[in-house]
Structure 1
């Protein structure tokens, strides 16, 4: 780890170092020419921490990171007067898990938030569990007031009293919460009235949301200036649907090169408003005599969404490639933070909590994954470095498959969770991750693979593959239809639909229809515990003939009837895998996690091919074995908000089920197996 100062060793920089050391000891000298003194009622030795998060900001969008199109003079000033980190990472490639990491100091996989949270119709009904210690809880022990101004996005519940919603910021110890979303934010909204905050009155006519957050920060600092505080200023900008002030937009549209890759006037105009906000925050801190009592951090929740703008880094938002997780981080604090410094210390969002704790004179609570950045910020003491930094994203987003990553030193290993294929990069000499070194450095790849595998096992993010161990599983059903349908009950989907034609030929269940039909064969037994497997053995699946594709879909899972089921499906004509969840006749698709369909990844043409749904409580995982050579993880699904199979009263109504969906064609399957783990 290297910290390089770009300023000479002047009396100013020496005083800054001594002031930082005094701050950690509980005293702070007052330098000559200081701005107004600390408010008289304010306790000494407890540094404020203000974290400004910019939504979806790419690693090089700021002027101080080399961008020559965007204009960020206020943040650039903070970098010149403070420390700029060149190896800073978001804890996840998407917003919600990174925010969970900031609040808890723990990797997202430990918090239960590994994907962005959907609106209330999402099946999982996820939220950040308030039973764990938060940064607000920790700092409250030293009399801190904690505030949130802006985006929270750590619950999927958007109705009822705000303070009663599961995982709301007040439940995590935040005392002063302002301008936080009442409804799901969707693509965002930046001009009052805000559709996701219908009850939020404007402070001034036609206000712009980024400016509103700045005004709230000014009020917050004035209100809490005599007590130590932690404040997360969580911007909604520059996320997805870009909307800028017309005058700023016109200014950037007129700049040379506007519209070429990486030179986006809309984003530049929105970022200019955020930059103005940061300047207002700094001036508010200075105006109340708190500059030498405050650490101000400016960063992003994940990498930029626009891939060309992330160059030379590869990838972007939603990926664990550098473009998806490397972010800017600027630290400012006169008398605390080294001025004009640049640090290549590897940081993560999880470091915010232990840093704030140390500045408050507290040890970090047990179980956090972060390390305090105070030694790097102050230039005093020895900076502790993590042995490894981890990421895990076991979901699908766009065309990106579930994957995980680990960085040790300059080596970074990516693992694709489906087939456990790995890629190894030296991100110091190859930040664009263009040269895979896994074959050239097999020992390094093996060591990092073992570390990442152990970390994933510790996180226990999703049910494991459907392998069986003698004596450890109870076989419930092994059905090959040799004796016909037996006691299976046929149920059309939905329950009011016309049934398909069903026959048993040899030992195969055959489903056909001249039109479109969906039919389930529901077994007489179902799971007695909340950990079980349903494995489908399709047998030969011929592709449809010439002309338009005709649907051949096989399904397996659990069902109550044609209106209530959880099924893994495989559509052979499109080589598409997905899931179907229907409760009370309603097909759960709004906010579906992780996806409605995974195309072109699995082909079950081989006679030994298998597919399986593995359930553990409210979490399900899809696996495929295309050639009888071993199971591949496909995706994870949370169902608690719609179907919670942890509950005995729910589970007792469900039975194992298989079936088919056809459209003017015929499909057959060999049989299925289902067992409890």
Structure 2
């Protein structure tokens, strides 16, 4: 506006003659802003496909997530790239299947406090890609991609970090004789999980009864303090991964019990984030994603969630292990109340965000994420037509179109051996999302097509050492 006034003064032109110039300047500013939307990714831990009211849960109340769905888009066929924490988070942040980065293993499914490995510096994270285009970045919450300094968020493109470095059930100090009883009535002192700010431990054990509220406060502080440039916020909640904790105000408020209390506090947190964006006038220039790293941890019974009509849960490559309840919110861009049945993956958040920011998707490596802008904006179909389902380094199943073939099956947990299938078991997921009815015999050509696609995918895989198997040096 100051530049416009200066032109008006020096030229002595009538204001109405310069009105078109004013419009052009204003529109170009808005266009630049729209070209670099803020990006927020809210990531739950072990949330099931059926755990939200807007995805069908009958007793858990999620009014803010329901409103997010009503104002945005609900994805019904959206996948994580792995059925457990570490590999799924690596895939989210790099847009690549974890087998490409060494962030998976057949011996140790995730990283532990005694692990010496982590996400390598050679990987390009979404934070690093967005920083190159002028974004401020912050990670709040659970990391689980390596707890040593060289692997922490601040070494991977994030300007700041506030959260726990791995799962909230690690660093257990409770007596072993208590076994799983500690999850029935969890106490903060049963675990010695550190809470960190950047690379410094600021609290140990982390008070998990207040952690969701503190994550939310930290996220809001970042949003309010970074409005002069585009920003990327990765808010990764520690829960509903067991042990389950919620703040005092939420105790015994849900009909679903402790688990419901936890989900309803996460819902409250989402409401706080969206309201802050609206209050700050940032809502129409901010895309918010909500999803989960994997399905519900069913072996914990009532302490675990629900995959709804989907089969199995966390740890498995059945639909309940990797299909996630996912929402996208971007007022003024995404049509309110949209429901899409197009395929998507958490890896696609990487590619889509970079494209929306006008950045460059890495071209020196295979990136598995695709650009979902056409789906979000209602201009076309999803470029994703296939999905690979890995358990560690094993390709267990492969989806092409509506068809999913399982080459190998195994329950999520337990000692039951891997079972190979010749021919593969086959399900039409749009007819049978619960994977109940094997239709392999009637569809040999479909199996042939899926096998060819899976083989082509595997040819693109170059083996790298597993970071999960590196011991911590003492």
Place the TM-score, normalised by the shorter chain, in its bin.
0.7 to 0.9
How far the C-alpha of 1:434 sits from its partner, in A, is 0.6
Cα deviation for residue 192 of structure 1 reads 9.3
Q: Which residue of 2 aligns with 1:379?
A: 378
1:641 deviation in Å? Answer: 2.7
Query: 2: CA distance between counterparts of 1:447 and 1:372?
Result: 24
Corresponding residue for residue 170 of structure 2: 186
Q: Is the contact between residue 187 and residue 239 of structure 1 (CA under 8 Å) also seen in structure 2?
A: no
Correspondence for 2:348 among 343, 348, 351: 351
SS of the aligned residue for 1:310 comes to: coil
Question: Given the superposition, is the C-alpha separation of residues 59 and 136 from structure 1 closer, same or farther in structure 2, using an over 3 Å criterion?
Answer: same
Count of residue correspondences = 409
1:200 is matched with which residue: 177, 199, 202? 202
Give the greater-gyration-radius structure (CA): 1
Match of 2:453 in 1: 451
Query: 1:354, 1:118 → 2: CA distance?
Result: 25
Q: 2:266 is matched with which residue? A: 274
- Secondary structure of 2:150's counterpart equals coil
SS of the equivalent of 2:397 reads strand
Higher relative contact order at CA 8 Å, sep ≥6: structure 1 or structure 2? 2
Query: Structure 1 residue 355: deviation in Å?
Result: 1.2
**How far, CA to CA, are the matches of 1:106 and 1:297 in structure 2?**
18
- CA displacement at 1:58 relative to structure 2: 0.4
Does 1:338 find its partner at 2:335? yes
In 1, the alpha carbon distance for the partners of 2:28 and 2:451 equals 44
Show the counterpart of 1:210: 212
1:192–1:206: 8 Å Cα contact kept in structure 2? no
Q: 1:638 to 1:87 in 2, by over 3 A?
A: closer
Verify the 8 A CA contact 1:82 1:330 in the aligned structure 2.
yes
State whether structure 2 residue 99 is matched by structure 1 residue 113: no
2:133 aligned partner: 142
Aligned counterpart in structure 2 of residue 48 of structure 1, from 5, 20, 38: 38
Residues 251/132 of structure 1: CA separation in 2 closer, same or farther (3 Å cut): closer
Deviation at 1:249, TM superposition (A): 3.8
SS at match of 1:344: strand
**2:50–2:57 contact (8 Å) kept in structure 1:** yes
2:70/2:336 contact within 8 Å kept? yes
Aligned equivalents of 2:386 and 2:443: distance in 1? 18
Cα distance change on mapping 1:207 and 1:245 into 2, 3 Å? closer
Could you tell me how far apart the structure 2 residues matched to 1:88 and 1:26 are? 35
- Provide closer, same or farther for how the CA distance between residues 276 and 103 of structure 1 changes in structure 2, counting only shifts above 3 A: same
Cα distance between partner residues in 1 of 2:42 and 2:354? 18
Corresponding residue of 2:48: 58
**Matched ranges for 1:211-610 at <5 A:** 211-245=213-247, 248-252=250-254, 255=255, 264-306=256-298, 309-366=306-363, 367-380=366-379, 382-394=380-392, 404-416=396-408, 420-421=420-421, 422-461=424-463
* Distance in 2 of aligned mates of 1:60 and 1:419: 28
- In structure 2, the residue matched to 1:641 is 471
Q: 1:187 to 1:60 in 2, by over 3 A?
A: farther
Greater helix share, structure number: 2
Aligned counterparts of 2:37 and 2:448: Cα–Cα separation in 1? 43
Q: Which moved more, 1:413-422 or 1:370-379?
A: 413-422
Q: 1:119 touches 1:184 (CA, 8 Å); kept in 2?
A: no
TM-score between both structures, scaled by the size of structure 2: 0.79
1:183 to partner: Cα distance? 8.9
* Helix, strand or coil at the partner of 1:350: helix
Matched residues in 2 for 1:27 and 1:183: separation? 43
2-structure distance, mates of 1:194, 1:141: 38
- Decide which moves more: 351-360 or 268-277: 351-360
Distance (Å, rounded) in 2 between the aligned partners of 1:241 and 1:46:
38
Per-residue Cα deviation, 1:230-276 (whole angstroms, up to 9, x for no partner): 11100001002222345534232xx4xxxxxxxx4111100011011
Residue 92 of structure 1 is aligned with which of 82, 87, 106?
A: 82
Where is the strand percentage greater, Structure 1 or Structure 2?
Answer: 1
Give, in whole Å, the separation in 1 of the partners of 2:444 and 2:323: 26
Deviations 1:291-347 (A, max 9, x none): 111001111111111278324211110011011011111111111221111001111
Relative to structure 1, the CA distance from residue 275 to residue 93 in structure 2 (aligned partners, 3 Å threshold; closer, same or farther) is: same
Match of 1:590 in 2: none
Q: In 1, are the aligned partners of 2:95 and 2:349 still within 8 Å (CA)?
A: yes
List runs of 5+ in structure 1 lacking aligned partners: 1-24, 30-41, 159-164, 256-263, 396-401, 463-617, 620-636, 644-677
Q: 1:323 & 1:147 partners in 2: Cα distance?
A: 30
